[in-house]
Chains A and B, each alone.
Chain A
Amino acid sequence: MMKQLEKQDLLALISGIVFGVGLGLSQMIDRQRVLGFLDLAGVWDPTLLFVLAGAVAFTVVAFRFVLRRKVPLLGDKFYVPSRSDIDIKLVLGAAMFGVGWGLSGYCPGPGIAALALGSWNPVLFVLALVAGMFAFQRYEAGQ
């Protein structure tokens, strides 16, 4: 019999694979598609809108049922954010993310899944992404 922790690991692996295939199939690992969506004044590419719509349509319905449970199937609690306040960190962080997204055409998920393409762009992006996160850790530790 598998232990609870091993089952959770297996689920994380399956979830990651499904996520990666979804990003590939929806062409979100193609940075030109993402930049095309963000280019409202150019030849606009609606792909990302339908990807987000498909994903959110699924989670809006499914999460309602999932979060009615007291505990997840393989764990003892739901790790769901409970904050509802709007602070400057949220807005400033999201604004910075949007600028980086518009420059690179990658957000974290597609950047990582695109490593499978064997191109240098996602490699540089992911290295810089990790460096940016380490920089934030240092900034937070110094606060």
Chain B
Amino acid sequence: MADFNLTTALLGGLLIGLSSTLLLLFNGRIAGISGIVGGAISFGRDSRWRWIFIAGLLLGGWLYEGVISHGSGLVSAPQSTPISEFAPVSMILGGLLVGFGTRLGNGCTSGHGVCGLGRLSFRSLVAVLTFLATGFITVFVTRHLLS
């Protein structure tokens, strides 16, 4: 098994759950990132809060990478994120499939995973098991059959 940090994994997960709860409790909205991005780029009446959420998401990523990961004392073992090898074909093909697929299937890891499972939605459970299965198969094919 790979080395991993149980504390930051759980703590990060709790923050994601907290964020989703805040958005639902105050604004009545589901923190599903694919739905938020899809709504934002359609520039309808309700797109403003979505753009603001996306700005926050970027700001949060920057706050972690630029401040917290440099040993702010907030976490016991902060770690900055390694830059992975440039993989343009995987990014473009993967991004297109993720964009189209999440809109067709009404959600991604956050909408169906964190929020849908949190609501005990059967639809979301089916979606989660499906994308996990095809994710496992895809990595098996690319890492073990093709290379």
Residues of A within 8 A of B (CB): 7-9, 11-33, 35-36, 38-47, 50-60, 62-63, 66-67, 69, 71-81, 83-86, 89-109, 111-117, 119-122, 124-137, 139-140
Contacts and interface: CB of A to CB of B under 8 A. Distances in A.
Given A56-B114, A112-B37, A121-B86, A19 B119 contact: no
28 contacts: A12-B56, A16-B60, A20-B60, A25-B8, A32-B82, A36-B2, A40-B136, A54-B13, A59-B17, A60-B118, A63-B118, A76-B28, A80-B24, A90-B105, A90-B130, A93-B101, A95-B134, A96-B101, A96-B105, A98-B137, A102-B94, A102-B136, A106-B91, A112-B33, A116-B61, A116-B65, A130-B99, A133-B37
A104 B84 CA distance: 11
Contact of B10 (A8, A39, A50, A124): A50
Given A38-B138, A116-B64, 19 more contacts: A16-B52, A17-B59, A22-B12, A39-B143, A52-B114, A56-B117, A58-B18, A58-B20, A58-B21, A62-B17, A74-B26, A93-B102, A94-B130, A100-B97, A102-B142, A109-B33, A127-B95, A128-B99, A132-B103
Mostly, the B contact residues are helix
B123 A83 contact: yes
A97 B24 contact: no
Given A95-B134, A100-B97, A41 B52 contact: no
Contacts of A117: 61, 65, 81, 83
A20 B105 contact: no
A24 B61 contact: yes
Contacts of A99: 97, 101, 134-135, 137-138
Nearest to B97: A100
Contacts of B75: 25
Interface of B: 1-2, 4-6, 8-31, 33-34, 37-38, 41-42, 48-50, 52-66, 68-69, 75, 79, 81-84, 86-88, 90-106, 108-110, 112-123, 126-128, 130-140, 142-144
B76 to A, nearest CB: 11
Given A59-B17, A94-B101, A104-B98, A16 B56 contact: yes
A24 to B, nearest CB: 3
